Amino acid sequence: MSSQTRVKKDKEIIGEYETQVKEIRNQLVEQFKCLEQQSESRIQLLQDLQDFFRRKAEIQLEYSRSLEKLAERFSNKIRSSREHHQFKKDQHLLSSVNCWYLVLNQTRRESRDHATLNDIYTNNVIVRLAQISEDVIRLFKKSKDIGIQMHEELVKVTNELYTVMKTYHMYHTESISAESKLKDAEKQEEKQFSKSADLNVHLLRHEDRPQRRSSVRKIEKMKEKRQAKYSENKLKCTKARNDYLLNLAATNAVVAKYYIHDVSDMIDCCDLGYHASLARTFRTYLSAEYNLETSRHEGLDIMENAVDNLDSRSDKHKIMDMHNQVFCPPMRFEYLPHMGDEVCQVSAQQPVQTELLMRYHQLQSRLATLKIENEEVRKTLDATMHTMQDMLTVEDFDVSDAFQHSRSNESMKSVASETYMSKLNVAKRRANQQETEVFYFTVSTSVIPACYR
């Protein structure tokens, strides 16, 4: 191996190491960037959530106020109508009017609940989000400080490795050079030996001998010196290699520890409490929404109960009670005998007896005919009424289908477009209902006056 290729090899080795260290440093920089991006994303997310809930709170307040105004408008109307129309004073006793009042109550309840939602968003959820944002900023800073310390340590360790590697290389170079010098000396010594052996064979001149001896001693001295130098360099090299090998193992351990544990710990530091605090914020939001729902549900149940209690019979009696003097039956007409007439019963002696009996029989037969006729009419009326009742109590109020959108992602359909409430269906049903009604009235009025005849 020539000296030139040797130098090149050294440079390559150092270059390879330097590249590897550079890559690690780049990674460390990128890791900070990545954590910074994550923090920024979180701060952005928290800012978005705050903006979102600020606007949602406003929407809740607008909604709440609209509902309140709506309820108030009609409550005022009811109040003034009660003050001005005596007969409306007890209207709330009627089951239908009661339902209307409960619709207004429910509206007021919704209004209050959405105002509460506004309050919770504004004074609780947003405050929490702002705090989490502060926490993210503070913890990122602290984590970065710790990260910087760890990175500095990594740099220090890799620099040290570089140093000990170079030291090893240096001592190894020196060791090689000492070795070659020693080998040179050994070669010279060997040459000297073979020369003196030659001379011994060929008659050596006496005056030449001391000269040759001093030269041999000189070579031996040099060889000893070079031997010492070589041993010294070899020891230095061994120590340097040991140092390098130990440092190498330590550095690999530190780097591995950093990548496997410390980076993760650093991220944990950034994350400290983030998920827990965010969860508590969302749970506050959920608690508010669930409670709103419970309150709504309670109100709707009250309303449903009132609808169950819609009762025409009881309302009719209440109306008749309210207007008692209008509906109470009058006194019977008393028999008013003329001028001391003491007869106060139907006189059925002769000669009126025959006539009375005749009239009685006529009436009896008339009554029998009417009874039969009425029975027929009654049957028709009952059947018609039954049909009408079926029409009137048909269960056409379930609108669940309209809320199915969320399970499938299809575009919503208008409720009125195809269900029971489609214009065609409504028109058909109403025509049918009114036809039945007309028939009912025709049949029943054909009978009512008969009672009075």
Give, as ranges, the residues between 413 and 452 that touch a copy of itself (CB under 8 A). 414-416, 421, 426, 430, 433-434, 437, 441, 444-445, 448-449, 451-452
CB of 239 or CB of 371, closer to a copy of itself: 239
CB of 368 or CB of 394, closer to a copy of itself: 394
328 phi-psi bin (left φ>0, alpha ψ -120 to 50, beta other)? beta
- Please identify which residue in 43, 52, 186, 215 interacts with a copy of itself, judged by CB under 8 A: 52
Window 272 to 311, contacts with a copy of itself (CB under 8 A) = 272-300, 303-304, 307, 310-311
CB of 61 or CB of 222, closer to a copy of itself: 61
Q: Is 213 a residue that touches a copy of itself (CB under 8 A)?
A: no
CB of 220 or CB of 271, closer to a copy of itself: 271
Window 146 to 175, contacts with a copy of itself (CB under 8 A) = 146, 149-150, 153-154, 156-157, 161, 165, 168-169, 172-173
Using CB under 8 A, which of the segments 89-97, 190-198, 217-225, 365-373 binds a copy of itself? 89-97
CB of 95 or CB of 230, closer to a copy of itself: 95
* Helices marked H in 202-345: 209-257, 263-271, 274-308, 312-322, 324-327
Neighbours of 343 (CB within 10 A): 7
Q: Is 36 a residue that touches a copy of itself (CB under 8 A)?
A: no
CB of 219 or CB of 292, closer to a copy of itself: 292
- The answer to whether the CB of 192 falls within 8 A of the CB of 215 is yes
Q: Is 383 a residue that touches a copy of itself (CB under 8 A)?
A: no
Own/partner pairs, 220-227, CB within 8 angstroms, 24+ separation? 220/189, 222/185, 222/188, 223/182, 223/185, 223/186, 223/188, 223/189, 226/178, 226/181, 226/182, 226/184, 226/185, 227/182, 227/185
Q: Is 61 a residue that touches a copy of itself (CB under 8 A)?
A: no
- The rounded distance, in Å, linking the Cα atoms of 117 and 284 is 11
Q: Is 18 a residue that touches a copy of itself (CB under 8 A)?
A: no
Nearest approach, Cβ of residue 237 and a copy of itself (Å): 8
DSSP annotation string for 188-231: HHHHHHHHHHHHHHS---GGGHHHHHHHHHHHHHHHHHHHHHHH
Residue with tokens 């709506």: 70
Half-sphere exposure of 117 (CA within 13 A, CB side): 28
Nearest approach, Cβ of residue 51 and a copy of itself (Å): 8
Q: Is 181 a residue that touches a copy of itself (CB under 8 A)?
A: no
Show the binding pattern over residues 240-259: x = contacts a copy of itself (CB under 8 A), - = does not.
Answer: -xx-xxx-x--xx-xxxx-x
Nearest approach, Cβ of residue 213 and a copy of itself (Å): 35
Count the site residues for a copy of itself by CB under 8 A: 194
Instruction: Give residue 200's Cα distance to chain centre.
Output: 107
Query: What six digits make up the tokens of 138?
Result: 């503070």
Window 102 to 131, contacts with a copy of itself (CB under 8 A) = 103-104, 107, 109, 112-113, 115-116, 119-120, 123-124, 127, 131
In 3D space, the residue among 348, 368, 366, 345 whose CA is nearest the CA of residue 356 turns out to be 348
Q: Measuring CA to CA, how many Å separate 237 from each of 156, 223, 448?
A: 23, 20, 132
CB of 371 or CB of 430, closer to a copy of itself: 430
CB of 213 or CB of 239, closer to a copy of itself: 239
- Please identify which residue in 39, 42, 181, 226 interacts with a copy of itself, judged by CB under 8 A: 42
Nearest approach, Cβ of residue 181 and a copy of itself (Å): 16
- Please identify which residue in 194, 203, 207, 333 interacts with a copy of itself, judged by CB under 8 A: 333
In 3D space, the residue among 164, 125, 170 whose CA is nearest the CA of residue 242 turns out to be 164
Nearest approach, Cβ of residue 364 and a copy of itself (Å): 14
Nearest approach, Cβ of residue 78 and a copy of itself (Å): 8
CB of 199 or CB of 256, closer to a copy of itself: 256
In 3D space, the residue among 343, 372, 335, 365 whose CA is nearest the CA of residue 357 turns out to be 365
CB of 228 or CB of 352, closer to a copy of itself: 352
**DSSP character for 339?**
T
Backbone φ and ψ for 438, nearest 5 degrees, come out as: -60, -45
Compute the C-alpha angle 356/358/360, nearest 5°: 70
Q: Is 93 a residue that touches a copy of itself (CB under 8 A)?
A: no
- The rounded distance, in Å, linking the Cα atoms of 281 and 50 is 11
Nearest approach, Cβ of residue 55 and a copy of itself (Å): 5
CB of 199 or CB of 279, closer to a copy of itself: 279
Compute the C-alpha angle 339/357/347, nearest 5°: 20
